[in-house]
């Protein structure tokens, strides 16, 4: 059974007078609890793929289904039920504490403030960023920003977490801790779809794919044996 | 000889005899964005390669196909000096390439196959694409099977040192894979660019 299904999804943008193909006939399924990493350079289409999977953007062609529902796109607040999208580039409203920031998706859905903050605190603890609760976004280290963004995405208790290149701005020595966190989240029954631009990002994942030019290419699943196609493939 | 520009120039001269300005243009097309030397460095590279007897000038044959041009040329500008690779230049270049790839038999194997494909001359880019795809598959599989490094929580100095070594070894393997991913992206762009220049002349499908 699949949680998320992208079926022959395509997406084009206008850039000035040019047509840019961001996604070209992309099909992908994610099972519940699965950790899937997509390796690609910036502008490979990887971010568009995540945004369409999140329901934040509408595909030009193809179908996106999450948990049996058709995603139509245009959910600009990223609040499709059951999907959390870690917004790594978000600027906080002035003066807002990290705790309020993480609680925001719940407050936006009409939760009582004290209950929302209690759940936000739990998520900050879950991602190892409890100490950040009273701080403001501009005071955070890059690795803390990633953790806080994940806490905010997790606060609505989604079944699928989407993370766009979580180690991109993180210090070299902090990266594996971020990836171990992603791994531990997926071990706890949450499905994760992440993008990465480095080999470390696909280490230890359940399934890894590569993307370039808006096309998903190679795919490797962790369970399969060591197959090196270049050997014994014949001249 | 440590300059990458020198080796790149030698490689281009091995492909076909060439002169300074043409080498400058070929190098720009081939390595633009990776190597962007000023033309003076091309001439410096030619001098260094000639001093090391890796290339030699081919003065006599230069404008042979245009006798009239030869008569007029001295009045206009200096004659272009074409260079060709010597046997020791070709050998040195092979050894250098092998040295660059010494850690990586898969890569050497793939480059050998790509070279074989080009030599066979049949459906070149389609087969090259397939080889690059297969290579990417091997790389992503290897990368996904690497473990994440152990945590830095060794209880004794000896355990901590063992973890450190494991982390460094993993980092080296990942570094190689990152280089290969960069190479794959580059190779695809090169093959696409090659196909674009051939479009119209050939009727190969755009995406084999």
Give mean pLDDT, residues B186-194: 85
Question: Interface pTM (ipTM) of the complex?
Answer: 0.79
Other C-beta atoms lying within 10 Å of the C-beta of residue A168: 16
Binning pLDDT at 50, 70 and 90, where does residue B62 land?
A: very low
Same domain, A30 and A142: no
Could you tell me which residues of chain A have a Cβ less than 8 Å from any Cβ in chain B? 37, 39, 41, 176, 179-180, 183, 198-200, 202-205, 207-210, 212-213, 217-222, 224, 226-231, 233, 235
Contact B110 A230 (CB under 8 A): yes
Among the partner residues A200, A204, A208, nearest to B140 by beta-carbon distance? A208
Residue A187, in any domain of the structure: yes
The larger pLDDT score, comparing residue A176 to residue B77, is at: A176
pLDDT at residue A47, rounded to an integer: 94
Contact B134 A230 (CB under 8 A): yes
Tokens representing residue B82 in the block: 């074409």
Same domain, A75 and A171: yes
Other C-beta atoms lying within 10 Å of the C-beta of residue A232: 7
By three-state DSSP, how is residue A11 classified?
Answer: strand
Same domain, A58 and A151: no
pLDDT at residue B127, rounded to an integer: 75
Same domain, A17 and A78: yes
Tens digits of residue pLDDT in B89-98: 888 877 776 6
Same domain, A105 and A136: yes
Place of tokens 């460094």: B168
Residue A145, in any domain of the structure: yes
CA–CA separation, B195 and B206 (whole Å): 8
The CATH number of whichever domain residue A64 belongs to comes to: 3.40.50.300
Residue A229, in any domain of the structure: no
Same domain, A149 and A167: no
A74: containing domain: 1-82+160-223
Tens digits of residue pLDDT in A14-30: 888 888 899 999 999 99
**Which parts of chain A sit beneath pLDDT 50?**
224-235
pLDDT at residue A227, rounded to an integer: 34
DSSP letters spanning A140-157 = --HHHHHHHHHHHHHTT-
Residue A234, in any domain of the structure: no
Tens digits of residue pLDDT in A191-219: 999 999 999 999 889 999 999 989 999 88
Same domain, A66 and A167: yes
Residue A114, in any domain of the structure: yes
Binning pLDDT at 50, 70 and 90, where does residue B135 land?
A: confident
User: Exposed, middle or buried, B95 (CB in 10 Å: 0-12/13-18/19+)?
Assistant: exposed
Same domain, A129 and A164: no
Picking from A106, A61, A57, A99, the residue whose alpha carbon sits closest to that of residue A81 is A106
What are the sequence ranges of the domains in chain B?
Answer: 4-100, 105-198
Same domain, A77 and A178: yes
pLDDT at residue A52, rounded to an integer: 93
pLDDT at residue A154, rounded to an integer: 96
- Listed residues A157, A186, A208: the one ending a domain: A157
Q: Nearest-CA distance from A81 to chain B in Å? A: 30
Same domain, A94 and A123: yes
Same domain, A169 and A68: yes
Same domain, A180 and A149: no
pLDDT at residue A216, rounded to an integer: 93
Residue A231, in any domain of the structure: no
- Listed residues A157, A176, A192: the one ending a domain: A157
Among the partner residues A41, A179, A227, nearest to B148 by beta-carbon distance? A179
- Gyration radius of chain A's alpha carbons: 18
**Test mutation, A181, A206, A230, A234, chain B, max B CBs within 10 A:** A230
Are the CB atoms for A54 and A105 separated by under 8 Å?
A: no
CA–CA separation, A20 and A48 (whole Å): 12
- Listed residues A157, A184, A203: the one ending a domain: A157
* Contact status of B178 with chain A (Cβ, < 8 Å): yes
Beta bridge partners, A4, equal A30, A66
Residue A219, in any domain of the structure: yes
Tens digits of residue pLDDT in B15-60: 778 899 999 988 887 666 567 789 999 999 999 999 999 999 986 5
Domain count, chain A: 2
Residue of chain A nearest B144, judged by CA positions: A203
**CATH architecture group of domain B4-100:** Orthogonal Bundle (1.10)
């Amino acid at each position: 059974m699949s949680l998320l299904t992208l079926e022959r999804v395509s997406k084009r943008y206008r850039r000035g007078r040019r047509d840019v193909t961001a996604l070209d006939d992309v099909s992908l399924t994610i099972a519940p609890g699965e950790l899937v990493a997509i390796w690609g350079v910036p502008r490979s289409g990887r971010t568009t793929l995540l945004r369409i999977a999140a329901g934040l953007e509408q595909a030009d062609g193809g179908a996106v289904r999450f948990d049996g529902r058709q995603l139509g796109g245009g959910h600009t607040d990223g609040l499709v039920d059951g999907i959390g999208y870690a917004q790594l580039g978000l600027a906080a409203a002035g003066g807002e504490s990290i705790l309020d920031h993480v609680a925001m998706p719940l407050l936006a859905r009409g939760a009582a403030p004290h209950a929302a903050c209690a759940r936000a605190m739990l998520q900050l603890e879950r991602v190892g960023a409890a100490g950040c609760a009273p701080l403001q976004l501009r005071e955070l280290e890059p690795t803390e920003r990633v953790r806080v963004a994940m806490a905010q995405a997790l606060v609505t208790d989604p079944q699928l977490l989407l993370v766009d290149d979580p180690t991109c701005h993180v210090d070299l020595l902090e990266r594996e801790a971020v990836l171990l966190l992603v791994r531990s989240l997926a071990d706890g029954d949450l499905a994760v779809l992440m993008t990465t631009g480095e080999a470390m990002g696909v280490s230890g994942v359940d399934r890894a794919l590569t993307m370039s030019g808006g096309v998903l290419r190679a795919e490797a699943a962790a369970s399969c044996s060591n197959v090196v196609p270049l050997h014994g493939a014949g001249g | 000889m440590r300059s990458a520009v020198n080796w790149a120039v030698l490689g281009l001269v091995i492909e076909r005899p060439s002169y300074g300005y043409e080498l400058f243009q070929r190098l720009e097309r081939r390595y633009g964005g990776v190597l962007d030397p000023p033309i003076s460095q091309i001439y410096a590279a030619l001098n260094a390669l000639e001093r090391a007897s890796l290339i030699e000038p081919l003065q006599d044959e230069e404008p042979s196909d245009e006798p009239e041009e030869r008569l007029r040329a001295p009045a206009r500008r200096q004659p272009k000096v074409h260079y060709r690779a010597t046997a020791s230049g070709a050998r040195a270049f092979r050894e250098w390439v092998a040295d660059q790839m010494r850690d990586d038999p898969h890569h050497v194997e793939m480059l050998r196959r790509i070279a074989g494909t080009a030599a066979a001359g049949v459906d070149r880019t389609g087969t090259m694409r397939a080889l690059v795809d297969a290579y990417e598959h091997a790389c992503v599989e290897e990368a996904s099977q690497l473990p994440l490094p152990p945590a830095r929580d060794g209880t004794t100095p000896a355990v901590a040192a063992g973890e450190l070594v494991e982390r460094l070894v993993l980092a080296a393997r990942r570094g190689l894979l990152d280089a290969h991913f960069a190479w794959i992206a580059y190779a695809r762009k090169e093959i696409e660019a090659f196909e674009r220049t051939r479009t119209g002349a050939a009727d190969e499908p755009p995406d084999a």
